[in-house]
Amino acid sequence: NGGTHDDGMVVVNGRLISPLKIGNAGDVRSHLDGGSLEAPVGNPDYSTPAGQNIRTFYRYFKNPGPSALNNFSLYVSGNATIVAKQGSVHYGALG
């Protein structure tokens, strides 16, 4: 994340979590960048996201094979909303 994606979630040990649960309440900056951690220079500060407390995480699902896939499993734990890509022929077809 970083740049224009500072409202995003983070992946730690293969799990998607709120960035407020990492570092110093989301601040993973080096002490050289004004943070409080011994961390790489240039790490982001997620503790004060711009805007609301809405976090986004975008991922595409792509079928790598020649045959159509009509079933797959996606496990979501916690409070989340899944939204299909706008303009897609399958917009809103999750479920």
Residue with tokens 């917009």: 91
Sign of the alpha-carbon torsion through 74, 79, 48, 5: positive
Partner residues linked to 10 by β-bridges: 17
* Total domains present in the chain: 1
Residues 70-79 have pLDDT tens digits of: 777 777 777 7
pTM, rounded to two decimals: 0.53
Is residue 23's pLDDT more than 80? yes
**Tell me: the pLDDT tens digits for 54-87?**
677 777 777 888 888 777 777 777 776 766 666 6
Supply the range of the domain harboring residue 12.
Answer: 1-95
